[in-house]
């Protein structure tokens, strides 16, 4: 086995060759997002120390912030006890992790059997991406 890639082989990839990756703000410890990584995304993240993910909708590798400028600098990469989930401890640039223009993707809270938006849009997603 090739020694530099042993760490990638330790990950329990799902049947699609993906693993869920949680991005957590290094300063606030708030969970920013859940995304997916394939081997190349995890390898590039480790090499560049910038978060790279796999887009299931586009079937493409992408670097967080490549369009928006909201880059996630990676301080730590952790693997959970079952080896089937990744935690990225990141320093987010621009304070926005969600494509909706919010700080994080977890902006809805269940209350009384209904989902309520409880966090504001910080930047218009149309301005950033050209669409919501």
Domains and CATH numbers, the chain: 3-95 (3.10.20.810)
Q: Grade residue 132 by pLDDT with cuts at 50, 70 and 90.
A: low
Q: Are 53 and 35 in contact (CB under 8 A)?
A: yes
Return d(Cα 45, Cα 83) in angstroms, integer. Answer: 17
Q: Are 38 and 61 in contact (CB under 8 A)?
A: yes
Q: What is the pLDDT of residues 25-73, one digit of tens each?
A: 999 999 999 999 999 999 999 999 999 999 999 999 999 999 889 999 9
Q: Which pLDDT value is given to residue 4?
A: 54
Q: Which pLDDT value is given to residue 88?
A: 98
Q: Which pLDDT value is given to residue 127?
A: 83
Where would I find the H helices in the chain?
A: 6-9, 39-48, 125-129
Q: What is the pLDDT of residues 85-127, one digit of tens each?
A: 999 999 999 999 999 999 999 999 999 999 999 999 999 988 8
Element holding 24 (H helix, E strand) = strand 19-25
Question: How many other C-beta atoms lie within 10 A of the C-beta of residue 57?
Answer: 5
Q: Which pLDDT value is given to residue 128?
A: 76
Q: Which pLDDT value is given to residue 1?
A: 44
pLDDT at 76 over 60: yes
């Amino acid at each position: 086995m090739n020694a530099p890639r042993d760490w990638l082989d330790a990950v329990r990839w799902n049947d699609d060759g993906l693993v869920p990756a949680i991005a957590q703000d290094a300063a606030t410890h708030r969970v920013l997002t859940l995304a997916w990584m394939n081997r190349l995304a995890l390898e590039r993240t480790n090499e560049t120390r910038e978060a790279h993910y796999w887009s299931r909708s586009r079937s493409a590798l992408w670097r967080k912030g490549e369009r928006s400028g909201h880059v996630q600098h990676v301080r730590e990469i952790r693997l959970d006890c079952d080896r089937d989930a990744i935690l990225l401890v990141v320093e987010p640039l621009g304070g926005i992790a969600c494509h909706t223009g919010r700080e994080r993707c977890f902006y809805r809270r269940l209350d009384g059997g209904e989902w309520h938006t409880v966090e504001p849009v910080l930047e218009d997603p149309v301005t950033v991406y050209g669409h919501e």
